Amino acid sequence: MRTVYALFVGIDKYPVDRPLRGCVNDVEAAEDWLVRQPEVRPAIMRLRDAGATREAVADGIRDHLGGAGPGDTALFWYSGHGSEQPAARPGSSTGLSEALVCHDSLGAGGQPLYDSELGPMLDEIAARGVHVVAVLDCCHSGGATRGKDRDPERGEDEGATRGIDWRPWWRPEAVAGHLSPDPRRAVSSGAFSRESGFRDTGAGREPGHVLVAACRARELAYEEVIDGVDRGCFSHALLRALDRLGPAATYGAAHALAEEDVRSRRTGQRPGFRGPATGRFLHGETSGTTPFLLRLTTEGWEVNCGAAHGLRAPGGEFALLRPGAAARRAVTVTEVRTESSLVEPVGWWPAPGERDTAHEVTPSALAFSPAEVSVSGTPQELRLVADAVAASPLLTLAALGRPLTGAGPALRVKVVDGMAEVRGGAGRRLPLLPLSTLADARRIATCCAHIARWHQLYDLANPDVSLSSRVRVTVAPLVGDLRHTGTGDVVCEYTADGQEPQVRVRIHNDSPHELWCVLLDLTDGYACSPHLFDGDFIGPGRAGEARQGEPVWLRLPPEREVSRGAFTDDVLKVIVAERELDIESFRLPAWTPGLPDRGPASPGAGAVPLMPVPKDAGGPSAVPSRGPARWGTASVAIRTQVP
């Protein structure tokens, strides 16, 4: 049974202006939810109102949550005021600092808990093998564990918003190092260390903590009377979603339902999320499911897959994954947007209870351009592979004697003496795979589908270059030689004494607008990771730094000998958009023959089976328009080699 070390902080009674009414109710409801969960053993600490000083909150994080060990969960739930202001630190990608306003933060000389303190404290706990979750219901909470920017569309509403103006004496540098991790307990996460054995620029690295936030960093969080009780709109929505989904709830599903619940109240508040969407809430382990979710919104049924994920046109189909279901259900795409798509059920209609949950779906027909697979071998071998290929929506069998269409990548399966070689990928050469049974053929089809999805990410581009031309990725040397080729590619070399190269990677926003960015690392092992820069806004004329400014280590994969002439290739691709994108489908593990054969691969899933009126003087604000939004890409290729 998993122990959940929980710290619930609720502050209504601030000593000066802007008291709140629903924060203590929030954390009491959250505690009630936690103690009702099966498979967990709660260890709870409570801080309320005057007891929630900066020192008490910090001590609660370090001592109580820090008491969790490998296999435990640390849950930090905060309901209270948040604040933000322009950041003094030049490395901020958005130019703003965020902070949690503790009970004693508002008195002369008092300090809040800054984003630059809270994030490292939580990550230090996560580095010891603890699953760490921060639920923040306050204004600007999307940046409370790392900085973002203000939303210029919203003003400074008064009333029941959980935000307070930045105080003149609040300066992060005044408390620098005060809450730094205890060196006696600090354990390297391995994310940046030379000893970690971490092979490439980003594949495999997971964020230290999960952040579930009431709003984006630039927005305000609201509270109101719900069912006769003062509550935070987000806390109420999140707990309601968790109750509806049950103990198996994933972060992605809970966020999807809570976001729509909050958005339907017309506050202009949009909850944020950072972490593994397929991870089980409180537990962290991946559910092994598809990254795509179907939910009912105010605009109709929606799937979190859009043009920026590779979806090109209406007409594609997603099938619902319903274990044990007697009949197949599907939805068809009617409108493709940048970040999502509107869909309609095909030949069925959801029952009332099905309208209030998030459904796992997977592409089943025409959603993505399939890769054409040509096969050479005996008639029996061809039939085996053809049957396996037909089961994957990412693949189609090339017709003998006919030219390839060129719509998707072209792959070839060459079979000699019962061993198959898959060719046509842009990555490294793959090991031979046996082919004598249908199970062998399915593994070959899974390999082809994996490569096809990698190519879809590798080739991802928007014909509209208006944003692509305004962003760029730069690579600067720290250790080892670096040179640029005539085509603009980067070559990084090991040092003469065998040290791995280190570089600093930056994403530059040369536009006059704030843009959301994620940086993908596509490796020659057919892996893709979004964890170099895992989704954040970058202000106009500013730059975001990969790994929050830490060095990026470049090295050969473990199976490749560090010898003269050895090399490995990566492509760093930034996807930039005017709105956030769901990044879960950008995760793709490296292909290895040992991956379990669970059926045809789903995009982004690797070997996963396919299968209110606010109480303020300004009144309600309209839901932001969800019309067309622009997106683009930019990339740089890096070769790491031994001279």
Report H helices in 329-471.
379-390, 438-458
Q: Are the beta carbons of 457 and 588 closer than 8 angstroms?
A: yes
Question: What would the two tokens of residue 425 be?
Answer: 């990928």
Q: Which two tokens stand for residue 132?
A: 């760490």
Tell me the pLDDT band of 527, cut-offs 50, 70 and 90: very high
Which helix H or strand E contains 503, and what residues bound it? strand 502-509
Rounded distance, CA 94 to CA 91, Å? 9
User: 340 is written with which tokens?
Assistant: 């999502």
Whether residue 252 has pLDDT greater than 70: yes
Amino acid letter, residue 122 = L
For residues 221-241, give the mean pLDDT.
Answer: 94
Count CA atoms closer than 13 A to 372's CA, side-chain side.
12
Helix (H) or strand (E) holding 123: helix 115-126
Low-confidence winner among 17-31, 166-180, 580-594 (lowest mean pLDDT): 166-180
Mean pLDDT, range 132-141, rounded to an integer: 93
Structure tokens at 333: 């795409």
Q: Which two tokens stand for residue 208?
A: 């230290």
Q: Is the pLDDT of residue 148 over 50?
A: no
3-state per-residue secondary structure call for 505-553 = EEEEECCCCCEEEEEEEEECCCCEEEEEEEEEEECCCCEEEHHHHCCEE
pLDDT in tens, 583-613: 988 999 888 876 554 443 344 433 333 322 2
pLDDT at 107 over 90: no
pLDDT for 199 equals: 32
Q: For 546, phi and psi rounded to 5 degrees?
A: -60, 145
pLDDT more than 90, % of the chain: 55
pLDDT at 90 over 90: no
Gap between the Cα atoms of 473 and 471, Å rounded: 7
Q: What is the CA radius of gyration of the chain?
A: 25
Over range 494-510, report the average pLDDT: 95
> What's residue 226's pLDDT?
93
Both structure tokens of 618: 């300004």
Query: What's the rounded mean pLDDT across residues 343-360?
Result: 89
Q: Which amino acid is at 542?
A: R
Beta bridge partners of 580: none
* Predicted pLDDT at 620: 29
Q: Any idea what the Cα angle at residue 193 is, between residues 506 and 272, rounded to 5°?
A: 55
- The fold of 468-596+627-641 is Immunoglobulin-like (2.60.40)
DSSP string, 465-486: TTTGGGEEEEEEEEES-EEE-T
Mean pLDDT of 18-30: 92
Mean pLDDT for the chain overall: 83
Express as a percent the part of the chain with pLDDT over 70. Answer: 82
pLDDT tens digits, residue range 419-476?
999 988 777 788 899 999 999 999 999 999 999 989 989 999 998 889 999 999 999 9
> 3-state DSSP call for residue 349?
coil
Q: What is the pLDDT of residue 326?
A: 64
How much is the pLDDT for 482? Answer: 95
Q: Which fold has domain 2-287?
A: Rossmann fold (3.40.50)
Q: For residue range 270-325, what is the model confidence (pLDDT) as tens digits?
A: 998 888 888 999 998 887 668 899 999 989 999 999 999 988 889 989 999 876 66
Q: Is 327 exposed, middle or buried (0-12, 13-18, 19+ CB in 10 A)?
A: exposed
CA distance 391 to 363: 12
The domain locations on the chain are 2-287, 300-365, 375-458, 468-596+627-641
At which residue do the structure tokens 């820069």 appear? 533
